[in-house]
Amino acid sequence: MAKRKIEFTDYLHLSLKVLRETGHLLASLDKNGKPNVMAIGWGTIGIIWGKPIFVVLVRPSRYTFECIEHTGDFTVNVPTKWMKDIVTYCGTVSGRDHDKFAEKGLTAVPGKTVKSPIVAECAIHYECKVVHYNDIIPDHLPQSIISTAYPLGDFHRLYFGEILDAYADEDVESKLT
């Protein structure tokens, strides 16, 4: 499938609709060079420091956390409308003891600008290099969010990834809607 370079703002209305309804796939590389992928339902995208930025939130308990700490980069991949079950599965098991790429027939293709791979079957890809990180501060959250999002106290690290490259399938719109 031919993929072409896009502006990070292109298709953003579709990309974030998918994030909200299905989730995105956050791909990384572990210290042994093995591709890893997790599902995310949370994240923000925009511009900071004059750069296009994708902010992802990762709990320290996740395998992806180790991977991003090791490589300093990640990719965000927007799944097609046919990949919902795969996203659900990727949000259910850990890359510590599952090769989710192999189990779900996903293809890890090397990133063009980062060490982390992309998930080739997805329709949009954002290659991101961490330029800042920050941790959620429990004292700055309302109790309602702590109760629902952090019952185990596993507060997220926010990775601010500069989007070094963004590209999409030619027929991205029909694959997402």
The residue within the footprint of a copy of itself, chosen from 4, 32, 33, 49 (CB under 8 A), is 49
Q: Name the DSSP letter for residue 6.
A: -
Quote the CA–CA distance of 141 and 131 in Å, as a whole number. Answer: 24
Q: Which is nearer to a copy of itself, 48 or 102 (CB)?
A: 48
* Residue 168: partners with Cβ closer than 8 Å, 6 or more residues away: 3, 4, 6, 10, 11, 123, 124, 125
Q: Which stretch binds a copy of itself (CB under 8 A): 79-87, 105-113, 130-138, 169-177?
A: 130-138
Nearer to a copy of itself, 110 or 138 (CB): 138
| Residue 53 engages a copy of itself in binding (rule: CB under 8 A) | yes
Our finding on whether 44 is near a copy of itself (CB under 8 A) is: yes
User: Residues in the site for a copy of itself, rule: CB under 8 A?
Assistant: 7-14, 16-17, 19-20, 41-50, 53, 55, 57, 131-134, 136-137, 140-142, 145, 148-149, 158
